[in-house]
Amino acid sequence: MNSQIQSIVYVVDDDDVVLRGVVRCLEQVGHHVISFRSAEDFLDQYQDDHVGCLVLDLCLTGMSGHRLQEELRERDIRIPILFMSGHASIQDATQSFRMGAVDFLEKPLDIECLKHRVAAAIEKDRNRRVKKRRLDEIGRLIDGLTDREKEIMRLVVDGMATKKIAYQLDISPKTVEVHRSNITKRMCVESVAQLVGMVTEYRLANDS
């Protein structure tokens, strides 16, 4: 895939008229669009290496839109999905959102609405990827700490005072301070407050 492409909109619909219309309107506003006539073709060719979103018909021949959504979840692919359908029920929409869809559009599509929703989905994916890179970097830094440093960092982040940490670990307060100084350097932060914020963000992301 061309590394200079900023984002990609994937469109999956087995209706050629709808497919061509959606592709045309999105290309007119500058999006790079790749289209597929089946969920199976999309799965075979999709590469999760660009910011983007998926505009997906609910009722496809073969694998349905919901089944594709399930398959993407099983593969831990987090691309934002905008469903479109001409005869969906409330239950269909509810299921889509429950499984993580970002939007549900009714056919015939409101073109201006589609453009705005696609732009919002792309921005959502861009922000998600930025956050993931940051969290991956935090994880890498944590993995680089010694077991003792990880233990002390956990207690510091939990709000325990230096003397209490020293008592609990049966070491001197001075040793705790040395470890804490080394931890902040190795975690690339300038203060304990920044360390607490960084590790708390990492914990919350991994608990969700």
Percent over 70 (pLDDT), the chain? 98
Question: Which of 138, 106, 107, 127 lies closest to 53 in space, CA to CA?
Answer: 127
Mean pLDDT of 9-30: 97
pLDDT band at 133 (very low <50, low <70, confident <90, very high): very high
Q: Is the per-residue pLDDT at 1 higher than 80?
A: no
Q: Is the per-residue pLDDT at 208 higher than 80?
A: no
pTM of the full predicted structure? 0.84
Domain annotation for the chain: domains and CATH numbers? 7-129 (3.40.50.2300), 144-207 (1.10.10.10)
How far apart are the C-alpha atoms of 58 and 63, rounded to whole Å? 10
Mean pLDDT of 63-83: 97
